[in-house]
Chains A and B, each alone.
Chain A
Amino acid sequence: MNRTSSSRRSLIGAAVVAALALAPALTACGAGTDTSPPAAASPGASSTGAYDPNATIEIGSLYEPQNLDNTGGGGQGVTEAFNGNVYEGLFKLTDDGKVENLLATGYKVGADGLSYTFTLRDGVKFHSGKALTSADVKSSLEKVIGPASQSARKDSLSVIKSIETPDDSTVTVRLSAKSISFVYNLSYVWIVNAAAKDLATSEDGTGPYRLGTWKRGSTLSLSRFDGHWGTPATNKEVVFHYFTDASALDNALLTNAVDVVTSQQSPDALAQFTDNADYKVSDGHSTTKLLLAFNDRKAPFDKPLVRKAITSAIDNRKLLDSIWNGHGSLIGSMVPPTDPWYEDLTKINPYDVNLAKKELADAGFGGGFTFTLDTPNYDPHPTAAAFIKSELAKVGVTVNINVITADEWYTKVYKNHDFAATLQEHVNDRDVVWYGDPGFYWGYDDEQVIDWVKQAEQADSTDAQTALLKQVNRQIAEDAASDWLYLYPQIVVASADLQGYPINGLNSQFYAYGIKKSA
C-alpha cells in the first residue's frame, strides 16, 4: 500500500514539475501659481483622435491595496489606485516630479519662514456632497501626524507645531523648524472629510472619481464623480484588476482583459508587445533604486576606500542589462532624474577592475577579504547577489550570500544593524536626505553631509535647497556611501487605443483621470 501511494505521489510530483518546465508560456519644487484643474498626464495628453468619454479603462496591476487608508497601512496599492483619483491633496506631484497647486490655490510663507497660510479652492465638494472647509484640512493633517498614523510622511511632517483655521477657506500651519520640503510633503497628504468613517473600507475624498466596488483579491472600480470641481475625468469608469503573477497579467493584456499594465516587471515579456501595432510600450523613469548598501559603521566598510573599490569592481551596466535587458539607467548616486537635485555621477566610481584592486591594496586589503551579503529572497536580489559574488571574486573578495526573508531583513538589517552589506530596493523620490541621518540602517556618518541636509531643509529658496542637496549627492558618491547599482525602469504597456496615461509612475501613483480610449 505504502509503496503504491508513494509511487503515485512521486509521479504526480514529476508531472507537476514537468508541466512547470515545459509549459512556461502558459503562465506564461516649489509651488507654482497654476490654478488649472488636473490636466491629463503624458504621453498623448493632447488628444488628436476622437475618444469615448464614457469608456471603461481596465487597468492591470500587481499591487492590490491592503486597505483603503494611506495612513493605516494601505500600502503601495492604495496610492496607485486612489492618489489623485479619489483623494486629492492641497498640492499634487506631477508625473515629471513637479509640485503644483491642487486644492490650495496658493500659499504665503511668514517672514520667519515658520508659518504657512494656505487658501483653499472654492466650490470643492466631497463625494458625500459636503463642501470642503479648512476644518477638513486640519483634521487630515492631524490624522497623518497622529500617534496611530503609519504614513511614510509622518516624520517629515512632524515639524507641524500648530494648525489654525481662521475661516472656512484659510489654513495656517506653524512649524517648529523651517522646512523647505513642507509644501512638497503636503502633496502626500490626502484631504479627507473630517466626518468620514470606516476609511479602511470606504472613502470620502474630493477627487475626480468615487469608489465603486472593491472585490478583495480581484478588482477595485472607480466611477467618475460628476460633482468634481475641475475638468471631469476623460473616462467614465476605471477598474483595477489585481494579479499576483506577472505572466498572468501579461496574458490578460494580450487577451484584452486589461487595457494597460501599470508597471511591467519582466523585460523579456515585452517582446510580445513591442513589435505589435496593437500595443504601446513606454519606458519612463521610476524612483526605485537597487542598492548594495554597506554597513558604513563596521570594518571593512567603515573605510571609504574599500567601498569605492567594491563599487568600481562591479560592472553595474552589465548587471542592469542582465536583469532589465537595456531598460533602466545608471545614476551613480542616490538621486533619480526626476528629483530636482539630480546629477549624472556615474563617472565618480567607474567600473575599473584595476582601479578596484589598487584601492583595495591601498586600503590594506590587497589579499582580499570575505563578507556576508544579506540578500532578500525575492527577485531581483538573489540574481544580483550571484552577479556581485562573481564580480568581486575577480578582485579577491569572497562573498557569502545569506538569503533572508523580508521580515528578517527588517529585524536584522533595518532595526538591529546586524549586517556587513545588504541588497535593497529604495522606492521613494527625494530620499537622499537619509544619508544625513547617521542612525539610519546603513550608518553613513559624515558631519558635513548631516549639516548640508539640515541646511537644505531650512533653506530659504528651492535653489539653495537644490544646490545643497547636489553637494550631498556628490559627497556620498565620492565616499561611496553605498553602491547604487541601478535605477529601475518604469515600463508601461498599454493598448494602442489608449492615451493620456502616466509614464513615470512616481512613488507608485497612477493618475487615471486623463486616460482616453479611442471611440
Chain B
Amino acid sequence: MRTRRSATLVFGCALVAVIVILAVASLVWLPYDPADTSGGRLASPGLPHLLGTDKLGRDLLTRLMVGARVALAVGIGSVLVGAALGVTSGLAAGFTTRWLDDTVAALLDILIAFPTLLVAMLVVAVRAASIGTVALAIGLAMSAVVARLTRVLVKRVLALDFITAARTAGTSWPRVVIGHVLPNIWPTLLVNLALQLGLAVLAEASLSYLGLGPPPPAASWGRMLQEAQATALTAPLGAIAPGVLLVVLVVGVNLVADGLRDVADPTRRRIR
C-alpha cells in the first residue's frame, strides 16, 4: 500500500542511487588516476577515455566519479552540521522564556535573510577552502533555516494536551523532549533536511564554480563546469556531464523529500 503511494520516493531513490553508486565505486575503482594528465587535450569520447578528457588531459569519467564523492560528502556533511546546530538551537528556543525566544526568533530571521551562498562565502574567505570548510560553511548557513523550523514545530507540539498531561503526571522536561517532542517533529524535520541536502549540493557546486570550493585538483562538479565553460564549443560533454549529474542528484533528493513527506503525512495519504 505504502509502496504504491510513494512512487516519487522510489524514483527519487533510484536517481540518488546512481550518484551513490558512482561515489562508492570511486572508492574502490577508478578508470584512471584523477591527476593523470596523459590523456591528451580534450580527447573525444570513446576508447580508452569513455567520456573523453579535459583541457589538462585528465579522464572525465574519473573526475565525475570523484566529483560524486565530493558532492555527497559536502551535502551530507553540511546537513549533519546544519541539523546538529539547527535542531539543538531550535529546541532550546522552543523551550525557553518568551523574551529569549523572541530574541532568538528575530536573530534567526536576520540570519535567514542572508543568502546561504553569501554566508558560506564569508566562512570560506576566513578559513582555507577544503571539503570540510565548505561543508561547515554551508551547514552553518543552513542551520538557521533548520532552527526556525524546529522552533515552530516544538512550539506546536508543546501546546498539545498530551504534553500538559505528561507534565501533570510528573514527567521531566528531558523525558518530554525525548519521549514526546522529538518523535512528533522528526518526520517533518527529515523531509526538510532532505530538501536542504539538495540545496547544499547546489551551494557546493556554486562555491566551486566561483573558485571557493575544495582546492584544485579536487574534482568538484562546480569547478568542472567552470573549467569547461571556455571549451564548451569544442568539447561540450565536459560542461554537460557534470551539469547533468548535478541535476540528477538534486532532482533525486527533492523527489526523495517529496516521497518522504507523502509517507510521513497521513493527511496527504488520504487525499491521494
Contacts and interface: CB of A to CB of B under 8 A. Distances in A.
Contact of A321 (B41, B231, B243): B41
A15 to B, nearest CB: 9
B215 A390 contact: no
Contacts of A318: 37, 57
A17 B198 CA distance: 12
A131 interface: no
Interface string A437-448: 000000000000
B182 interface: no
B254 A390 contact: no
Nearest to A24: B232
19 contacts: A2-B152, A6-B196, A10-B199, A11-B251, A14-B246, A14-B250, A17-B246, A20-B243, A22-B244, A24-B233, A24-B239, A247-B229, A322-B55, A325-B41, A382-B215, A382-B223, A383-B216, A385-B216, A390-B217
Interface string A6-34: 11011101100110111011011000000
Interface in B164-190: 188
A403 interface: yes
A508 to B, nearest CB: 21
9 closest A-B pairs by beta carbon, nearest first, are: A21-B243, A24-B232, A386-B217, A386-B216, A390-B35, A377-B211, A13-B202, A14-B250, A266-B230
Contacts of B42: 268
Interface of A: 2-3, 6-7, 9-11, 13-14, 17-18, 20-22, 24-25, 27-28, 246-247, 266, 268-269, 271-272, 318, 321-323, 325, 375, 377-378, 382-383, 385-387, 389-391, 393, 401-403, 405
A17 B41 contact: no
Contacts of A401: 215-217
A7 B233 contact: no
B197 to A, nearest CB: 9
B56 interface: yes
Given A7-B257, A10-B202, A389-B217, A21 B250 contact: no
B69 interface: no
Contacts of B128: 402
Contacts of B250: 10, 13-14, 17
A247 B223 CA distance: 18
Contact of A25 (B125, B152, B233): B233
A14 B257 CA distance: 15
B57 A322 contact: yes
A321 to B, nearest CB: 6
A323 B230 CA distance: 10
Given A2-B192, A13-B250, A325-B41, A27 B211 contact: no
A20 B242 CA distance: 10
Given A22-B240, A401-B216, A14 B230 contact: no
Interface string B232-272: 11111001101110110011011001100100000000000
B195 interface: yes
Contacts of B233: 24-25, 28, 268-269, 271-272
Nearest to B199: A10
Given A14-B251, A21-B244, A386-B217, A3 B35 contact: no
Contacts of B232: 24-25, 28, 268
B202 A393 contact: no
Nearest to A246: B230
B227 interface: yes
A20 B217 CA distance: 22
Nearest to B214: A403
A110 B188 CA distance: 88
* Residue among B191, B198, B258 having the largest count of chain A Cβ atoms under 10 Å: B198
Contact of B230 (A269, A390, A405): A269
B205 interface: yes
Considering residues A269, A271, A391, which has the most beta carbons from chain B within 10 angstroms of its beta carbon? A269
Given A17-B225, A322-B41, 12 more contacts: A3-B192, A7-B195, A7-B258, A10-B199, A11-B254, A13-B198, A18-B244, A266-B231, A387-B56, A389-B217, A401-B215, A401-B216
B56 A18 contact: no
A13 B246 CA distance: 10
A384 B222 CA distance: 18
Contact of B211 (A18, A21, A386, A403): A403
A268 B229 CA distance: 10
Contacts of B209: 20
Contacts of B239: 21-22, 24
Contacts of A10: 195, 198-199, 202, 250, 253-254
Contact of A6 (B199, B230, B234): B199
B144 to A, nearest CB: 12
B26 to A, nearest CB: 18
A317 B224 CA distance: 23
A402 to B, nearest CB: 6
Contacts of B149: 2
A9 B225 contact: no
B171 to A, nearest CB: 29
B102 interface: no
Given A13-B199, A28-B233, A387-B37, A6 B56 contact: no
Contacts of A27: 229
Contacts of A20: 209, 225, 243
A21 B230 contact: no
A379 B129 CA distance: 17
B228 interface: yes
A18 B205 CA distance: 12
Contact of B36 (A269, A378, A390): A390
Contacts of B198: 10, 13-14
Nearest to B228: A24
Contact of A17 (B211, B230, B234, B247): B247
Contacts of A11: 251, 254
A11 B257 CA distance: 12
Contacts of B188: 3
